Structure 1
Amino acid sequence: MDCTDYSFREVLAGCLTSDEFRETLMKALKVGCFCTPSFHSYRDVPRIYEYDSTGLNIESRVLKLWNWHFTLSMEVVRLPGVLPPRCPEKVPVVKDEKTGTFYRADCLLKQFCFEKLEKASSLNAEKAAEFNQLLRNLYTLSEEELGKHIKDYGITAPDTQNTLSIPFFVKWSVQTPICAPPFQFGPYMRPRYEQDKFEDLTRLFEENDCSFPVATCHIGQSFEEEISPSRGLVIRHEFSVAEIQHFVDPKDTTHGKFRAVAEVETFMFPREQQKYGQSAIKIVLDQAVSKGIVDNMTLAYYIGKAFLFLTCLGIDKDHLRFRQRFRSEMAPYAVDCWVAEIECSSGWIECVDIAYSPEYDSQARAVKSVVALMDNEKLTKTKEEEKSGLALIDNEKLTETTEEEEKNGVVLNDNEKLSETREEEDEIEFALHDNGTFIETIAAREPTVAPNEKELGHAFEGNQKIVIESLLAMSKEEALLMKDDLASEGESAFLVRTWGKTVTIKDNMVNISVKRTRERERVFRPSVIEPSFCIERIIHCLFEHSLYMRPSKAGDERVSVFRFPPLVAPIECAVFSMREKKPNHESARLIRRSLTDAGVSYRNFIAGNTTGKEYAEADELGVPFAIIVDSNVDVSIRDRDSGDKVRVSVGEAASVVKGLIDGHKTWSCICSSF
């Protein structure tokens, strides 16, 4: 079979080798200035690539689209990242005693435990409980404890079965040379921006009127000590990440905007299909939630948003799937995790990780960062004099208020308990047992003084106003003391300072009440959904899904073309000025100025009598539209993918291209209109 376009689909079909396609791709990327080898003048540097000018434009437009897709449309708070003064994460490693190959000690032990638990029929209950307990405590084990378990279980190197060394911890982060305070030990480049956002949770919770959900996002560079950064843009020391932390109440994991993605249909690869060697299933997200394939609605919402984002970029939806991670692949505190995998010439590449972690996740991270993440959700309940029982508002706020009138003669204090049936208390404790604990506080508020103007008028006549003003100006202590005297003796001596006299206030002249409030705070640790997008991997897949080869007009060679959507194309429009037609240069300047005013990026090409070579150069850059200035009256607009052209006036050219790029118009509509 003749390869007609050299696309990654032909690699998957078996008519082109992956090496041939990757060689073609890297050549096209270098010609178009998308990426270049880093420090290529130094021979001892491994094959590490970085973006060139065109690649940087692609990255910035992808991040701009991500920012609109998630930050603006979802009203997510964007926060910056900072340099932590301590290494936020260390990992235990072991070494093959003979080959020197390094392995993660905790991963080896975790894999061993899961393999044993999968053969539960051959395990006794005591041994199964031991493995489960070990998995729960895996990330808290010391070097000695890890080494003891590896030795006791006889765990060896996976590849060679050789003996492993004693475990030791290494810093997963890249350290910087800054040593000034407060970085006496040198700050570290953040491997994941999410790590410091848990420390911001309390502040964000308060800014959000003490309610959930709360979502924050961050975009930036991350750094990790990769052992083998040799797969181009897929594995690197430095990479761009876009992450979200969506905190929710563990009682309520619904999402108000789920209807917008409920009908999204995509390939999903649950654990059961993977375990029994079956294929991914195509399913609507609404059904995936109702059937229990996806843990909760908010998690499914982010799966749908990730699908829409990736397909909007130009990822082929038929080569995109969401695979559910096995328990052995997830962190111990996660209960469900889906990873967006994109099929390319080298196989399936993990690009987006969407994990759901219950309240244990926040608890574990809080211990590490020495910051309490217990957010107090105040529950208020109100009891009126003529009503009894509890009024639950939104299942969250419970308030109880009682007023003690002068007639009962009771002075309230902070230690007094409000009467409530045991049945009601049991009912509340049961309802909230799994979602937090109650902290109860009883407080006596400021006393309320209500003078009886009629009785005071009879007693003091013309001085009534002075006495009333003095009563209302009493301090809390004076009011409580008068309340005691009125309750015990029926009258109280009162100094009217503005009058300079001491008068007798009787119990029918003033009413003093004290409002006592019992507040219950529901203390819980929020659950979190964490979508994490590796921008470099997504862009690499975009390159593969967009590249194809087509014959040149001469037919003697192939031209590489990147089929980028206009939203992410590095250059949105090409302007071709004919070298031999100088009178048209003024029209070209007018068009370029109009494109700039419309916010359309362009590149100017000077063409000869024919424009075939310049067309090929623009197609190699993935420019979706081109304006050919060959007249002072009207010009041609060319579509990259079809090669068709339409004639429009000079004044309309920029607005037509702007409408095509923004998606307000389609090429077929333009062809029918002009």
Structure 2
Amino acid sequence: MSDPRFEEILAPLRANVKEQGDIVRKLKAEGAPDLDIKQAVAELKLRKKVLEDKELSLAPTSATFDRAKMEDLLKQEQMLEVDCSILTPETVLKASGHVDRFADLMTKDVKTGDCFRLDHLIKAHLEKIAVEKNTSPDVKAECRDIHTKLEGMNKEEMAAVMEKFNMKSPLTGNDLTEPIEFNLMFGIHIGPTGLVKGFLRPETAQGIFVNFKRLLEFNQGKLPFAAAQIGNAFRNEISPRSGLIRVREFTMAEIEHFCDPSNKKHPKFDDVRSTELLLYSACNQMDGKSPERHTIGSAVDKGLVANETLGYFMARIQTFLTRSGVDPTKLRFRQHMSNEMAHYAQDCWDAECLTSYGWIECVGCADRSAYDLSQHSKATGIRLAAERKLTEPKVVDVIEAVPNKAAIGKAFKKNAKQIVDALTTLSIEDIGNIEAKLDKDGTYDLVVDNNSFTLSKDMIDVKRYKKTVHVEDVIPSVIEPSFGIGRVMYTIFEHNFKTRENDEQRTYLSLPALVAPVKCSVLPLSSNTDFHPFIKELSSALTKLDISHKVDDSSGSIGRRYARTDEIAIPYGITIDFDTLKEPHSATLRERDSMGQVRISLNEIAEVVHNLSYNKLTWKEVENKYPKFEQQESKGN
């Protein structure tokens, strides 16, 4: 926001954010209690939101978008996308942490059973109390304090808030239940017996991780390599809202790029080094500063972005989004702050797009370190690692816990295999602990899947020896770009929803020709049978060049038919008229956004549309080459 008048308004809000950001930094540096840090971070988020809301309110285009009109237009298209759902065994999502941690707190109306997401309910209730005239200053202050702490509250603390403020169902006024932990995954039972528990997948990534070993073999055991997947994911949201922004079933596209953790350079990074991105760093967020423009090369060189591979994908994400129709002036990359960052992540940036809903995350791009493969390897006992050749052989100390299968089998019978498998996955540290405990007490309690088994010295032989190795195991790091296709689609629709100047009732979608599903319409001026051979000839020529098109020979004026094709984003229209019947045969080519028209020979026009559709030619170049057709479209059509 460059207008000095706006900066005068925003300056005190920026100062408020920076002041709180400094407090957060100080608390972390001093090792303050977690609750104090969470409270300070929550206050920082509130101040950031006030600043961002004010920035959006000052933006000249923020209040002009008519979402209802755009949604009415989209409903007319009658387009559906279908995909098969994917079943995931519980063991996979247990290893990834989704079974234990992928949950929200909710509460229910005791009479009707209506469900509410608890943090949203508390926020709304406290905001309502805070604006009431008869609310005392002390209660208002308490509401603000709870609001700042809410994100870090556990089930018991939220229950206390519900009780203190005597919260009821906002729909009926009925009593509410105690807070309930609600896992966001859809549970299912697999197989004819129903004994195998599973879930509809909450993301597409885990399927790639569990197939890592096979994917590595396909790549001849070499790093780096990548795998991609697109498909439906399912999250049992307590209260889905905001159209395509938050739904229970949605399409994801994810790339998992596996690389050596000691070498995260990318061979194509120089190709994107000069790409400029709007970066909203964690530091700028805490200081109340605006996002700043950097080339991705300088951002990586300075350490603002963690490594080349992460930076490469961020640059490619921007190129994909803008070529697909996202407005580049409404796109930024926001870095996760330390309190948002997953404990295993080394860096994470969200591609956020500005819409009528505010800034929404459309693509996440994270360096997930080696967390996922480590977790699945630990859970399954399967080695999920690549090999790195050593420049020189080296001698290493090896320690192994060798199970006495006969003794274990005799003592534990059907559980023996489970115990033996667990012993083969132990870390060096675990084996050392077992050895020390056996030497001291003569027994060791091994915990496997929440069951404890007491092992004696005769069941385990701890062996130590030296070994010369020429390679070493490497658990790859994962760089993950993750696309929410529905959110990207919604943003593209909103950024390209337009109204004709001086005619607000005439709306259209200005999708780039590259992504428009239908590239061209063929419009005979009337139902005159003399036009039929030319329509057939033109349709055949377009088909040979793989140009998707539709013939609209319906009744109605040409202006009305142009309007219909504009609504469904068709970028080019070819009109067959009475001049087409004359030698040399020609037709009118119209461009959707400018409504400009040129006259082109019939034997050239299909190739021109092909080159326009795939960015080999610009409309300006076409206008400079071919004569303009000056007939104007009637406003009333």
Q: Gapped runs of 5+ residues in structure 1? A: 1-8, 34-51, 61-79, 109-145, 381-391, 401-435, 438-516
- For the 8 Å contact 1:97–1:162, the answer to whether it is kept is no
Q: 1:217 to 1:334 in 2, by over 3 A?
A: same
**Alignment of 1:541 onto 2:491:** yes
Kindly tell me: are residues 644 and 311 of structure 1, through their superposed partners in 2, closer, same or farther at Cα, counting changes over 3 Å?
Answer: same
Flag the 1:200–1:624 CA change in 2: closer, same or farther, 3 A. Answer: same
Matched, 1:590 2:590: no
Taking a change above 3 Å as real, the CA distance of residues 645 and 92 of structure 1, as seen in their structure-2 partners, is: closer
> Conserved in 2, the CA contact under 8 Å of 1:173 and 1:190?
yes
Q: Distance in 2 between matches of 1:245 and 1:166?
A: 40
Tell me if the contact between 1:266 and 1:282 (Cα under 8 Å) persists in the aligned partners.
yes
Go from structure 1 to structure 2 and tell me whether the alpha carbon gap of 1:236 and 1:102 turns closer, same or farther (over 3 Å shift): closer
CA contact under 8 A between 2:85 and 2:200: conserved in structure 1? Answer: no
Give deviations 1:196-227, integer Å, cap 9, x for gaps: 21111122223222221121110111111012
- Unmatched runs of 5 consecutive residues or more in structure 2: 1-54, 124-151, 168-175, 396-426, 429-466, 627-637
Per the TM alignment, residue 85 of structure 1 is displaced from its structure 2 partner at its CA by: 3.0
Q: Which residue of 1 aligns with 2:385?
A: 375
Corresponding residue to 2:600 among 648, 652, 660: 648
Relative to structure 1, is the Cα distance of residues 177 and 337 closer, same or farther in structure 2, using a 3 angstrom cutoff? same
Q: Where does 1:505-520 land on structure 2 (aligned, <5 Å)?
A: 518-520=468-470
Conserved in 1, the CA contact under 8 Å of 2:189 and 2:195? no
Question: What is aligned with 1:196?
Answer: 207
Q: Please give the residue correspondences for 1:194-343 in structure 2 after superposition, counting only pairs within 5 Å.
A: 194-343=205-354
Q: Deviations over 1:577-598 (max 9, x none)?
A: 1224320111011111111221
Q: CA separation in 2, counterparts of 1:184 and 1:98? A: 32
| Contact 1:363 1:373 (C-alpha < 8 Å) held by counterparts | no
Tell me the SS of whatever aligns to 1:188.
Answer: strand
Selected match of 1:174 from 168, 171, 186: 186
Residue pair 1:337, 1:354 contacting (<8 A) in 2 also = yes
Quick one: distance in 1 between partners of 2:199 and 2:529?
A: 57
Q: How does 1:49-448 map to 2 (within 5 A)?
A: 52-53=78-79, 56=81, 82-86=86-90, 88=93, 89-90=98-99, 91-95=102-106, 101-103=116-118, 170-176=182-188, 179-180=191-192, 184-185=195-196, 187-367=198-378, 369-377=379-387, 379=389, 392=391, 398=393
Q: Counterpart of 1:572?
A: 519
Superposed displacement of residue 188, structure 1:
2.6
* Distance in 2 (alpha carbons) for counterparts of 1:357 and 1:339: 14
Aligned pairs (5 A) from 1:4-23: 13=59, 17=63, 21-23=66-68
Question: Do the aligned residues in 1 keep the contact of 2:155 with 2:179 (CA within 8 Å)?
Answer: no
CA contact (8 A) 1:634 1:647 kept: yes
Distance 2:336 2:166 in 1: 29
Match of 2:438 in 1: none
Within 2, Cα distance between the matches of 1:156 and 1:339? 35
Structure 2 match to 1:601: 548
Cα deviation per residue 1:447-489 (whole Å; 9 max; x = unaligned)? xxxxxxxxxxxxxxxxxxxxxxxxxxxxxxxxxxxxxxxxxxx
Find the counterpart in structure 2 of residue 660 from structure 1: 612
Tell me, yes or no, if the aligned pair for 2:159 and 2:179 is still in contact at 8 Å: no
Q: 1:559, CA displacement in angstroms?
A: 0.6
Q: TM-score, normalised by structure 2?
A: 0.64
Quote the residue 2:72 is aligned against. 27
Is 2:116–2:239's contact at 8 Å kept on the other side of the alignment? no
Q: Is the 8 A contact 2:210 2:376 kept in 1?
A: no
Structure with more contact order per residue of length (Cα contacts < 8 Å, sep ≥ 6): 1
Aligned residue identity for 1:179: G
Cα contact 2:519–2:572 (8 A) shared by 1: yes
Instruction: Check whether the contact 1:575–1:629 (CA below 8 A) recurs between aligned residues.
Output: yes
| Aligned-pair identity (%) | 30
> What CA distance in whole angstroms lies between the structure 1 residues aligned with 2:266 and 2:253?
21
- 1:205, 1:82 → 2: CA distance? 23
SS in structure 2 at match of 1:244:
strand
Distance 1:197 1:350 in 2: 23
Deviation track 1:91-128 (CA, whole Å, cap 9, x = no partner) reads 344446999744589xx9xxxxxxxxxxxxxxxxxxxx
Match of residue 21 from structure 2: none
**In 2: Cα distance, 1:309 partner to 1:603 partner:** 27
* 8 Å contact from structure 2 (residues 275, 295) kept in 1: yes
Q: Which of 637, 642, 659 is the equivalent residue of 2:589?
A: 637
1:610 Cα deviation after fit: 3.9
Structure 1 residues 158 and 597: CA distance shift in structure 2, 3 A: farther
Taking the aligned partners of 2:85 and 2:257, their CA distance within structure 1 comes to 17
Deviations 1:320-373 (A, max 9, x none): 000001222222111211000000112101100111122234323434x52534
How far apart are 1:558 and its partner, in Å? 2.6
Q: How far does residue 173 in structure 1 lie from its aligned partner after superposition? A: 2.2
Secondary structure at the residue paired with 2:309? helix
Structure 1: distance between partners of 2:523 and 2:511: 20
C-alpha separation between the residues in 2 aligned to 1:663 and 1:364? 45
Q: Deviations over 1:478-537 (max 9, x none)?
A: xxxxxxxxxxxxxxxxxxxxxxxxxxxxxxxxxxxxxxx943441232111111000000
Pair 1:319–1:97, CA change in 2 (3 A): same
CA distance in 1, matches of 2:117, 2:253: 29
The 1:657/1:371 distance shift into structure 2, 3 A limit, reads farther
The 1:250/1:161 distance shift into structure 2, 3 A limit, reads farther
* Deviation at residue 172 of structure 1 after TM alignment: 2.8
Is residue 563 from structure 1 mapped to residue 515 from structure 2 by the alignment?
no
SS in 2 for 1:202: helix
1:379 and 1:399 in contact (8 A); partners too: no
Residue deviations 1:162-187 (CA, integer Å, cap 9, x gap):
89988865443224565327x64354
Note if contact 1:216-1:245 (Cα within 8 Å) is conserved in structure 2: yes
1:26 is aligned with what amino acid? E
Distance verdict in 2 for CA 1:165–1:228, change over 3 Å: closer
Deviations 1:134-184 (A, max 9, x none): xxxxxxxxxxxx99x865x89965998789988865443224565327x64
Give yes or no for contact 2:341–2:348 (8 Å, CA) kept in 1: yes
**How far is the alpha carbon of 1:83 from its aligned partner?**
2.0
SS in 1 for 2:610: helix
1:413 corresponds to:
none
- The residue correspondences of 1:461-480 to structure 2 (distance < 5 A) are none
- Evaluate the alpha carbon distance shift between residue 672 and residue 102 of structure 1 in structure 2; reply closer, same or farther with a 3 A threshold: closer
Asked whether the equivalents of residues 374 and 525 of structure 1 are also in contact (C-alpha less than 8 Å), the reply is: yes
**Is this contact kept in 2: 1:86–1:186, CA < 8 A?**
yes
Q: Report the Cα offset of residue 30 of structure 1.
A: 2.2
Q: Would the aligned equivalents of 2:522 and 2:576 in 1 still touch at CA under 8 Å?
A: yes
Higher Cα radius of gyration: 1
Equivalent position SS for 1:355: strand
Q: CA deviation at 1:550?
A: 0.9
Count how many residue pairs are aligned between Structure 1 and Structure 2.
449
Distance 2:181 2:556 in 1: 67
